[in-house]
């Protein structure tokens, strides 16, 4: 019975949505009897299919159909509004739960294809991650009252925790989703604390209970132990199958407090996200902390003091849905003729022109953790690449952009990212969305140096400088001390892997700060890491050594003095600027050796021998040799082979133009990043 009803629902729901929305809605409002609805449904569309629809279906269906055209937002006073986020460790099913919530409330038509609807970017779908937070307003009917639920989706990866904190600031509560099999993971902890510190209502949701190895009881105990939330507060669901998802919505209404905003107050709104639309300019996502705002109103930015006229506003469901007015406690978007994303700074406060209010606290600006140079493969593509970088950074204000130029690579940029994934995603978006081809240099972390040379101090205007480009690393003779950025890392893993993980961390110069068991088998460890040790491949190594069971998250932990040196790499005596790296002195030899070996493997043989060297100053500390080709000629080539042969050669000739040349050596442009990313041996 259960099974068949699900099947039927799948088949008929889209149809029903399309034809019956309004009609049923009205009937539903006037009467309380679900049976009325069912009769109608059967009568019209399902003569021979179903006699009785499950109660749940009717409920879902009716709630889906509430306001359609011309929503009057004044129907939703604050006590009918709930603003919440879903937070979770990556892959714990956050986006799937969001899909189900959207379906149940009718924001999207229920189909098999609804997979991560809020993940709009190609890169998000390909990698199965959320990069950019999205917002959706849902209409949900509970005990005859229609509620406006604003769901603010958040990114899942550790690099994007900054976005999570932003989203959280517009909410009064969160759904903390935990995988029933994997249990609490590092980001679960990090995200919990973000919500906890913001004093939000936290609803633990245990997802994937349909999995064979699901152990919701154990996870509930973990939650009780680590977060001090009673086990009975957890909701067990399967977002994939839709089990108990309706319960989640009920609990959202029950447990999450309404926003405290008052309609009567002066208009006051927090900008918690912004995107750029080439036609309309900046589209800002705002949360109203008080008052109301309508089309045609004049609003002022607290940050810049500039005044704008509101051209368009509305709610996101998740597509833009214009309305006339937004009221206190609501969440929506606003277009007000801002031409530059910096005009809608995230964390800024908007108020009515001539009715200034106290600005909301806002957020710390995103802090770039990883820097890398980006250059066009061919300098003639500089202008095109510049416009692509500009467009992309318009939508991602967390990328720090700085013009840069190098002797070897020409004009380009030094970009700052939140983490390596963020950098890869940026690079991938450049390639996919703008068809740009770039050379990326070795990522580096922002080091600091305390200068002693009076001349340099004068030049920089300060004693302590930050170095984001290894090429500008000052010589030891002019420096009293180098400092490196540190992070506090959290690792959660089954205790079988404790030994291996401790060794890995030790090799990464980490210091253990604490270690606790979160249940009988799982350990949470805290380590103080130098940031540069985890930037490139730590997460991959950790994952592979723990068969994917360990999770990792980190937070900023200031700077510490370190014995740093600059290491250069040479191919036949010619420096490879992309690879210049700052390393800890104790690790110089092993890093140099490993990098030379990897370079040897990733540069194809050429017609001459290539010496690969790592050097500190003028001293070579490691060397590898790439032997020359001895033979490379196709055995036979007669009349019938020419066409194929020419095609292959032309392709090679085209590829040649795209190679990065160092002296007369040709290097495929992804070789360097591959060299940096390879797992440890």
Partner 1 sequence: MKGSRQFCWSVVKRTLYVSPKTQVDTSTVPSSRDTSVLVSPPQSDEAALYVHWPYCLRRCSYCNFNKYIPRSVSHSAMRECLQKETETLLNLSQVFRITSVFFGGGTPSLAQPATIAAVLETISQHAQLSKGAEVTLEVNPTPAGMSKLKDFVQAGINRLSIGVQSLNDEDLTVLGRDHSSQHALHTISEARRLCPGRVSVDVMFGRPGQSVASWEKELEELLCVCDDHVSLYQLTLERGTQLFKQVERGELTVPGEDITAAMYRSAREVLEKRGYRQYEVSNFARGGAVSEHNLGYWRAQQYIGVGPGAHGRFVPLSAGADQREARTQTLEPDVWMSEVQKSGHATRRRLPLNRLELLEEVLVMGLRMVDGITHQHWEMFSPSDDLHAFFGQPGDVQELQQRGLLILDDRGLRCSWEGLALLDSMLPTLLVQLETHVLRKGQQRNQICPPSQHREGRQAR
Q: Between the CA of residue 158 and those of 161, 363, 371, 550, 680, what are the distances in Å?
A: 5, 18, 17, 14, 22
Instruction: Tell the smallest beta-carbon distance from residue 638 to partner 1 (Å).
Output: 5
Is 633 an interacting residue with respect to partner 1 (CB under 8 A)? yes
How many residues of this chain interact with partner 1, rule: CB under 8 A?
27
Is 324 an interacting residue with respect to partner 1 (CB under 8 A)? no
> Which tokens go with 123?
């890169």
Which of 77/668 has CB closer to partner 1? Answer: 668
**531: phi then psi, degrees, rounded to nearest 5:** -55, -40
C-alpha 389/C-alpha 400 separation (Å) is: 11
Is 212 an interacting residue with respect to partner 1 (CB under 8 A)? no
Instruction: Tell the smallest beta-carbon distance from residue 668 to partner 1 (Å).
Output: 14
Which of 311/379 has CB closer to partner 1? Answer: 379
Instruction: Tell the smallest beta-carbon distance from residue 658 to partner 1 (Å).
Output: 11
Instruction: Tell the smallest beta-carbon distance from residue 661 to partner 1 (Å).
Output: 10
C-alpha 681/C-alpha 679 separation (Å) is: 6
Which of 264/654 has CB closer to partner 1? Answer: 654
Span from 120-128, 205-213, 469-477, 641-649 in contact with partner 1 (CB under 8 A): 641-649
Answer for the pair 250, 142: CB distance below 8 angstroms, yes or no: yes
Helix axes 2-30, 55-64, angle to 10 degrees: 50
Is 380 an interacting residue with respect to partner 1 (CB under 8 A)? no
Q: How many Cβ atoms sit within 10 Å of the Cβ of residue 595?
A: 24
Strands 581-584 and 564-571, sheet pairing? antiparallel
Instruction: Tell the smallest beta-carbon distance from residue 187 to partner 1 (Å).
Output: 40
Strands 201-207 and 173-179, sheet pairing? parallel
198, 387, 629, 658: residue in contact with partner 1 (rule CB under 8 A): 629
Is 573 an interacting residue with respect to partner 1 (CB under 8 A)? no
Strands 145-152 and 81-88, sheet pairing? parallel
Span from 146-154, 277-285, 384-392, 626-634 in contact with partner 1 (CB under 8 A): 626-634
3, 69, 407, 635: residue in contact with partner 1 (rule CB under 8 A): 635
Instruction: Tell the smallest beta-carbon distance from residue 641 to partner 1 (Å).
Output: 8
Instruction: Tell the smallest beta-carbon distance from residue 572 to partner 1 (Å).
Output: 13
> Which tokens go with 231?
């086990």
Q: Which residues are annotated as a binding site?
A: 88-95, 153-157, 207-210
30, 113, 619, 631: residue in contact with partner 1 (rule CB under 8 A): 631
Pick out residues in 648-667 that bind partner 1 (CB under 8 A): 649-650, 652-653, 655-657, 664
199, 380, 435, 643: residue in contact with partner 1 (rule CB under 8 A): 643
**Which H or E run includes 142?**
strand 135-142
Rg for the chain (alpha carbons), in Å? Answer: 29
Q: Between the CA of residue 677 and those of 124, 399, 491, 501, 575, what are the distances in Å?
A: 21, 21, 21, 19, 20
Instruction: Tell the smallest beta-carbon distance from residue 379 to partner 1 (Å).
Output: 17
- Closest alpha carbon to 293 in 270, 273, 319: 270
Span from 136-144, 256-264, 272-280, 638-646 in contact with partner 1 (CB under 8 A): 638-646
Is 647 an interacting residue with respect to partner 1 (CB under 8 A)? no
342, 355, 602, 606: residue in contact with partner 1 (rule CB under 8 A): 606
Answer for the pair 135, 153: CB distance below 8 angstroms, yes or no: yes
70, 361, 461, 639: residue in contact with partner 1 (rule CB under 8 A): 639
Instruction: Tell the smallest beta-carbon distance from residue 611 to partner 1 (Å).
Output: 16
C-alpha 185/C-alpha 468 separation (Å) is: 32
Is 608 an interacting residue with respect to partner 1 (CB under 8 A)? yes
Span from 64-72, 114-122, 439-447, 632-640 in contact with partner 1 (CB under 8 A): 632-640
17, 391, 476, 645: residue in contact with partner 1 (rule CB under 8 A): 645
Instruction: Tell the smallest beta-carbon distance from residue 665 to partner 1 (Å).
Output: 12
- Which DSSP string do the residues of 293-351 spell out, in sequence order? EETT-EEEETTT--EEE--EEEEESSSEEE-SEEETT-EEEEE----SGGGG-TT-EEE
> Which tokens go with 76?
């939703």
Answer for the pair 9, 41: CB distance below 8 angstroms, yes or no: no
Contacting residues toward partner 1, per CB under 8 A: 606-608, 629-640, 642-643, 645-646, 649-650, 652-653, 655-657, 664
């Amino acid at each position: 019975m259960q099974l068949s009803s699900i099947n039927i629902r799948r088949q008929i729901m889209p149809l029903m949505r399309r034809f019956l929305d309004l009609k049923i809605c009205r009937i539903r409002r006037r009467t309380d009897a679900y049976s009325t609805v069912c009769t109608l449904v059967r009568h019209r569309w399902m003569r021979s299919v179903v006699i009785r629809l499950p109660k749940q279906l009717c409920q879902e269906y009716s709630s889906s159909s509430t306001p359609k055209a011309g929503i009057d937002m004044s129907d939703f006073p604050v006590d009918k509004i709930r603003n919440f986020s879903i937070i979770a460790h990556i892959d714990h099913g956050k986006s799937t739960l969001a899909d189900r919530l959207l379906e149940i409330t009718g924001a999207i038509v229920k189909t098999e294809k609804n997979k991560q609807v809020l993940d709009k970017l190609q890169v998000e779908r390909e990698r199965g991650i959320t990069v950019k937070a999205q917002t959706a307003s849902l209409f949900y009917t509970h005990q005859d009252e229609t509620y406006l639920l604003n769901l603010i989706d958040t990114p899942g990866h550790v690099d994007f925790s900054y976005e999570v904190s932003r989203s959280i600031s517009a909410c009064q509560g969160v759904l903390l989703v935990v995988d029933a099999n994997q249990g609490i993971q590092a980001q679960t902890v990090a995200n919990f604390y973000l919500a906890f510190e913001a004093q939000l209502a936290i609803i633990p949701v245990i997802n994937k209970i349909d999995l064979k190895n699901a152990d919701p009881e154990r996870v509930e105990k973990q939650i009780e132990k680590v977060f001090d939330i009673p086990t009975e507060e957890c909701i067990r669901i399967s977002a994939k199958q839709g089990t108990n998802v309706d319960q989640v919505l009920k609990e959202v209404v029950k447990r999450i407090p309404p926003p405290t905003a008052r309609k009567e107050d002066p208009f006051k709104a927090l900008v918690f996200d912004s995107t750029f639309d080439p036609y309309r300019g900046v589209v800002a996502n705002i949360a109203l902390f008080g008052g109301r705002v309508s089309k045609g109103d004049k609003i002022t930015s607290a940050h810049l003091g500039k005044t704008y006229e509101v051209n368009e506003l509305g709610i996101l469901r998740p597509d833009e849905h214009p309305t006339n007015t937004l009221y206190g406690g609501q969440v929506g978007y606003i277009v007000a003729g801002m031409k530059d994303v910096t005009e809608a700074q995230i964390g800024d406060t908007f108020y009515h022109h001539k009715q200034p209010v106290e600005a909301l606290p806002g957020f710390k600006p995103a802090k770039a953790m990883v820097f890398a140079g980006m250059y066009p493969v061919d300098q003639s593509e500089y202008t095109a690449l510049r416009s692509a970088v500009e467009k992309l950074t318009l939508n991602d204000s967390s990328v720090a952009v700085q013009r840069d130029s190098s002797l070897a690579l020409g004009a380009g940029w030094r970009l700052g990212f939140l983490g390596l994934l963020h950098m890869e995603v940026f690079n991938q978006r450049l390639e996919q969305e703008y068809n740009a081809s770039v050379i990326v240099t070795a990522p580096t972390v922002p080091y600091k140096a305390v200068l002693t040379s009076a001349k340099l101090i004068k030049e920089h205007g300060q004693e302590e400088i930050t170095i984001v480009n290894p090429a500008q690393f000052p010589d030891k003779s002019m420096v009293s001390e180098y400092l490196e950025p540190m992070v506090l890392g959290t690792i959660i893993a089954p205790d079988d892997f404790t030994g291996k993980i401790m060794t890995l961390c030790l090799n990464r110069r980490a210091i253990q700060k604490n270690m606790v068991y979160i249940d009988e088998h799982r350990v949470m460890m805290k380590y103080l890491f130098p940031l540069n040790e985890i930037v490139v491949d730590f997460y991959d190594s950790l994952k592979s050594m723990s068969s994917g069971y360990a999770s990792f998250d980190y937070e900023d932990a200031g700077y510490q003095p370190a014995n740093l040196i600059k290491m250069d790499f040479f191919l036949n005596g010619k420096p490879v600027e992309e690879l210049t790296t700052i390393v800890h002195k104790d690790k110089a030899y092993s890093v140099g050796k490993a990098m030379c070996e990897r370079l040897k493997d990733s540069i194809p043989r050429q017609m001459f021998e290539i010496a690969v060297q790592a050097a500190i100053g003028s001293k070579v500390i490691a060397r590898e040799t790439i032997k020359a080709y001895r033979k490379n000629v196709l055995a036979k080539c007669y009349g019938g082979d020419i066409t194929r042969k020419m095609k292959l050669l032309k392709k090679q000739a085209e590829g040649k133009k795209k190679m990065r040349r160092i002296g007369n050596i040709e290097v495929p442009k992804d070789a360097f990043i591959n060299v940096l990313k390879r797992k440890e041996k």
